[in-house]
Chains A and B, each alone.
Chain A
Amino acid sequence: MVRGHKMAFRERVRVMDADDIRRAVQRIAHEIVERNKGAANLVVVGIRTRGVPLSLRVARAIGAIEETEVPVGRLDITLYRDDLHTVSTPVVRETHLPGDIEGKNLVIVDDVLYTGRSVRAAMDAIMDFGRPASIQLAVLVDRGHRELPIRADYVGKNIPTSREERVRVALEEVDGEEGVFIGEEAD
């Protein structure tokens, strides 16, 4: 899956609206708290671009449930991609992790889980910063078609797709609108 790659997109169906996304984030937050028995040792890390606003929402939701503040980081995985040689001009953005991640339970947040390669790259990047006690994965949409043995711990919505289809996640903070859409590439 190419990040930041602009393609013409012909929309077919809206599969989640703003309320659906809000509820999914809320549920994921509850599941994270339940699995980790609280928020004491948690760090939430978003993958650029749309994982970042989602991670902030998840962290805020966990904070509200547990009445605490959850540290949030953001990760740029460009330098760890396995397809660098096929991308014409990669743009690298800054990575920021909040403090020491050694021994923490770290939750990676991304918008769409597809081949699993972004998550592989994110895990490699994280390991260069330290050794967390665990790494978990939360995604808004799981669309299938994994190419690596990776699965999500928390899923907003499973959306079976064909490889020819495109999934577009729009978030207020990035796109100025809210929703998950299925469509196809338009030529």
Chain B
Amino acid sequence: MAERRHLLDIDDLDREGMERILETARSFAEVLRRPIKKVPSLRGRTVANLFYEPSTRTRLSFELAAKSLSADVLNFSASTSSVEKGESLKDTALTLEAMGVDAVVIRHPVAGAPWLLRRWIGATVLNAGDGMHAHPTQALLDLFTMRERLGDLEGKTIAFVGDILHSRVARSGVKACRAMGMEVLLVAPPTLMPPSPMPGVELITSLDEAIPRCDVIYMLRMQKERQQEGRVPSLEEYTRLYQLNVERMAGARPGALVMHPGPMNRGVEITAEVADAPYAAITSQVTAGVAVRMATLFTLLGGAEGGGDAG
């Protein structure tokens, strides 16, 4: 029996692997448009959603994806579970293992938690966001959304704007975009830039300078706590320099796309007018999320472990 397949970070996949999931996701997007939005592919498989961090959209998205594939879903969120009784991640993992789950989707505030989990259990592990580290399915759904709107991504330019330093979305996103041959700009005040530059990306502190160069402007959520940490002098100043508003969008290329992983702070990093404009692909990202997570679950769980011949 071959080793179980996992998705811990986007670089678990080479370009071919990404292409394959994106291609499969197209078929699942079609399934989600059917009158009966369900296929029997993962019937009898169990997927556990293990969420140690509050999250609505990612958990709902994974839950709907698993259910649309006819898998059974167990939802475990830290606030309502025996985490409050002090149960460790390891004990919870071993409990799930003993119950025979086939896959564990984990969201955890500590970077690396999914890697620990993989060592402890035999089930397939999917990283749904660990600390400031990685969020591979977000990167895949972003690629999917960009492809649907822009076609081939080779040579296109994307800017990630905002709190890059604390963003797992940006960290996985940059790798994914680079793998697809995109030019990547990181736009942030120096205090919110990553300490060591990532290979093949350009750092820019001015959003106004970056906008006219972009095919995709990817806004990140600005957490209000950053102000208390002294990373930004004030939210007002941050907003003045880094908010994406209609005036700034006037300098964008025709056909440029605005994206955001959600949840948005309307009025902080992005204005409501921009978020709801036709060039914003934010709801498309949510729709793509279900199809891409179906494709990921199906790719990891759908086939035999060692391959085989049905004859």
Interface of A is mostly: loop
Partner of B27, one of A1, A83, A94, A129: A94
On chain A, the residues within 8 Å of B38 by CB distance are 128
Task: Report A-chain residues with C-beta under 8 Å of the C-beta of B26.
Answer: 94
**Once the chains bind, are A86 and B310 in contact (CB under 8 Å)?**
yes
**Which residue of B is nearest A100, CB measured?**
B35
User: What residue of chain B has the Cβ atom nearest to residue A117's Cβ?
Assistant: B310
The interface centre, meaning the residue of B31, B38, B295 with most chain A CB atoms within 10 A of its CB, is B31
- For A92, list chain B residues within 8 Å (CB): 23-24, 27-28, 295, 298
**For the side of the interface on B, what is the size category?**
20 to 34
- CA gap between A79 and B40 in the complex, in Å: 7
Complex partner residue of A79 from B23, B36, B41, CB under 8 angstroms:
B41
- Spell out B's residues near A (CB within 8 Å): 20, 23-24, 26-28, 30-31, 34-36, 38-41, 295, 298-299, 302-304, 306-311
Q: Is the Cβ of B36 less than 8 Å from the Cβ of A84?
A: no
Alpha-carbon gap, A90 to B301, bound state (A): 10
Q: Does A90 lie within 8 Å of B311, measured CB to CB?
A: no
Known: A79-B39, A92-B27, A93-B27. A86 touches B34 (CB 8 A): no
Can you offer 11 A-B residue contacts whose CB atoms are under 8 A? A1-B310, A78-B41, A79-B298, A83-B310, A87-B304, A87-B310, A88-B304, A92-B23, A94-B30, A128-B39, A129-B34
Contact A86 B304 (CB under 8 A): yes
| Contact between B310 and A95, CB atoms less than 8 A apart | no
For A80, give the chain B residue with the smallest CB separation: B40
Query: Least Cβ distance of B305 to chain A in Å?
Result: 8
B303–A89 touching, CB < 8 Å: yes
Q: Contact at A2–B41, with CB atoms within 8 Å?
A: no
The answer to whether B27 touches A95 (Cβ under 8 A) is yes
Q: Report A-chain residues with C-beta under 8 Å of the C-beta of B28.
A: 92
- Picked from B35, B304, B309, the residue with its CB within 8 Å of the CB of A2 is B309
Is A37 in the interface zone, CB < 8 Å from B?
A: no
Q: Are B302 and A86 within 8 A (Cβ)?
A: no
Q: Which residues of chain B are near A103, meaning CB under 8 Å?
A: none
User: Which of chain A's residues have a CB closer than 8 A to the CB of B41?
Assistant: 78-80, 84
Per the bound structure, the CA–CA distance linking A93 and B24 in Å amounts to 7
CA A51 – CA B20 in complex, angstroms? 23
A182 to chain B minimum Cβ distance, whole angstroms, is 17
CB–CB A5/B31 < 8 A: no
Is B303 a contact of A130 with CB atoms below 8 Å? Answer: no
From B308, which residue of chain A is reached at the shortest CB distance? A86
Whether, in the assembled complex, A111 has its beta carbon less than 8 Å from a beta carbon of chain B, the answer is no
Distance in Å from the Cβ of A163 to the closest Cβ of chain B? 9
Q: How far is the CA of A128 from the CA of B38 in the complex (A)?
A: 8
Is B306 a contact partner of A88 (Cβ separation < 8 A)?
yes
In the assembled complex, how far is the CB of residue A33 from the closest CB belonging to chain B, in whole angstroms?
A: 29
Chain B neighbourhood of A94, CB < 8 A: 26-27, 30
Within the assembled complex, what's the spacing in Å between the Cα atoms of A91 and B40?
A: 16
Judging by beta carbons under 8 Å apart, are A128 and B34 in contact?
A: yes
Is A2 in contact with B39, judged by CB distance below 8 angstroms?
A: no
Q: How far is the CA of A87 from the CA of B35 in the complex (A)?
A: 28
Contact of A85 with B by CB under 8 A: yes
Q: Which residues of B contact A84 (CB under 8 A)?
A: 41, 302-303
Contact (Cβ within 8 A) B304 A91: no
Residues of A close to B304: CB separation below 8 A: 85-88
A97 → chain B closest CB, angstroms: 9
Q: Are the C-beta atoms of A88 and B30 separated by less than 8 Å?
A: no
- Asked if A128 and B310 make an inter-chain contact with CB atoms under 8 angstroms apart, the answer reads no
Contact for A87 among B34, B299, B303, CB less than 8 A = B303
Q: Could you tell me which residues of chain A, from 1 to 55, have a CB within 8 Å of some CB in chain B?
A: 1-2, 5
Most buried by A among B20, B23, B39, B298: B39
Whether A76 contacts B27 by the Cβ 8 Å rule is yes
Q: How far is the CB of B82 from chain A (nearest CB, A)?
A: 33
Q: Given the complex of chains A and B, what is the CA–CA distance between A182 and B38 in angstroms?
A: 38
Q: A90 and B27: CB pair below 8 A?
A: no
- A130–B34 Cα gap in the complex (Å)? 9
Contact, CB under 8 Å: A88 / B308? yes
B170 to chain A, nearest CB (A): 30
Q: How far is the CB of B85 from chain A (nearest CB, A)?
A: 37
